[in-house]
Amino acid sequence: MPAPLILTLLALAILAPAGLGWALLGPARPWLDEAATALALVGFAALLVEFVLSGRFRAVSGGVGVDRTMRWHQRIGRVLTVALLLHPFLYTLPDGAAFWRPDDVTRVHALGLGRAAIVSGLLAWLLLALLTLTAIWRDALPYRYETWRSMHGLGALLLVGLGLHHALAAGRYAAHPAVAGTLWALSGLAVLTMAWVALVRPLTRRPWRIAMVRPAARKIWEVVLEPVGHAGLAYRAGQFAWLKLDRGPFSRREHPFSIASAPAEAGRLRFLIKEAGDFTRTIGGLPTGARAFVDGPHGNLCLEGHSEPGIAFICGGVGVAPALGMIRHAAARGDLRPMLLLYGNRLADQILAAEELAALDWLTVVHVLGEPPPGWTGEAGRLDAALVARRCAPAAAAGWLFVLCGPAPMLATVRQALRGLGVPAARILMERFFDN
């Protein structure tokens, strides 16, 4: 789905309950009370929509990239948290049975909070604050990523129940059947999404087998997977997949890795995995023949639809993996446009596929080493703005496409340097491997 269509559908879903409420019951109370209700309804609907955004559905993220939909998920999450946490403090109308009038059926003159609504609202308020804060400071928590993710998902599900109860029990607009129906429908969608992701999707995953694990460079492993009883994955060079290695389909231990092979290598998938933490440090010990599961393909770091006269890849470390996929694919289908690979590593023995890359005469490889060995004749230092300007100015002037992949700080520096060379944003494709 294209980005404008997704954003329009998201906006419609998020605004639907508040819009319906206003259309049916009209803003009849002091403006601060109306603003409080609007924040509550918009915030709660956004929370429900967040489930669809984070569910890795190809219909949703296929067109824009799952990294982008995850970034939307994070940003929307922060905004809706502020809206929901703020809304109870804006009401000016009094609450309590003493203020209720028999003729005030739609609660224009007093709030209609019962004890149960106060309890569910308070619990939801606290849980939401906890979920958002632990998501923002995830790396500081003493939990594994998977543990955090499970807690985040279960907490969000509980929040749906509490939020729905509070909205239906306390809300003036939610008392109207049409608004209540919309809230029920969005909540149902959120719960179904969760059930699909946690139960149905793993059940329908096709099995793979670990065909080979071998050291590819210093602390980097090449893992080859082959399909079991099916033809494999239809993907575009440069895409990535979430892998469960030597685990069952319901395991929460899954990690994203770029596909370093080309679609032309029918069937098998190759991955280059760097030892970065508790999971990736176990890769070297994975047994050949063990089962694996692949969720993908995902991502939009692809050359399809790009007819620029040349391509410059700028990669840091194992960030070269998707570039390798694209270069191998270009070689396989005879796309011999001039290409440049600016490839940064700390040490010489971290360089991947050096001989294979050196053999391609349409590809210029520039190795950049942070700690070069004695006698090194290539570039030394970091992949910084000065180096990018020196090496990429001709490609920038010639209208080439730039493909960037690596850690976030490197991407930020390189992107800024390219923009400084006059490269428009549309000619820069990027993929981040880590948040930090």
Ligand X SMILES: Cc1cc2nc3c(=O)[nH]c(=O)nc-3n(C[C@H](O)[C@H](O)[C@H](O)COP(=O)(O)OP(=O)(O)OC[C@H]3O[C@@H](n4cnc5c(N)ncnc54)[C@H](O)[C@@H]3O)c2cc1C
Footprint on this chain of ligand X (rule: CB under 6 A): 67, 139, 145, 240, 254-258, 271-274, 276-280, 299, 318, 321, 431, 433-436
Give least dist CB 132 to ligand X, A: 17
Query: Helix H segments across 334-364?
Result: 354-358
| 430 three-class SS | strand
Burial of 361 (0-12, 13-18, 19+ CB in 10 A): exposed
Quick one: 67 or 95, whose CB is closer to ligand X? Answer: 67
Give least dist CB 108 to ligand X, A: 48
Give least dist CB 262 to ligand X, A: 14
Quick one: 100 or 279, whose CB is closer to ligand X? Answer: 279
Quick one: 357 or 396, whose CB is closer to ligand X? Answer: 357
Quick one: 22 or 240, whose CB is closer to ligand X? Answer: 240
Residue the block writes with tokens 């890769």: 283
Give least dist CB 278 to ligand X, A: 5
Give least dist CB 380 to ligand X, A: 24
- The single-letter code of the amino acid at 349 is D
Burial of 278 (0-12, 13-18, 19+ CB in 10 A): exposed
Across-strand partners of 316? Answer: 344
- For residue 312, which of 328, 290, 300, 327 has the smallest C-alpha distance? 327
Give least dist CB 59 to ligand X, A: 19
Quick one: 318 or 331, whose CB is closer to ligand X? Answer: 318
Taking the C-alpha atoms of residue 50 and residue 345, their distance in angstroms, rounded to an integer, is: 37
Residue nearest to ligand X (CB): 277
- Compute the C-alpha angle 60/65/70, nearest 5°: 80
Quick one: 8 or 147, whose CB is closer to ligand X? Answer: 147
Element (H, E) at 162: helix 145-170
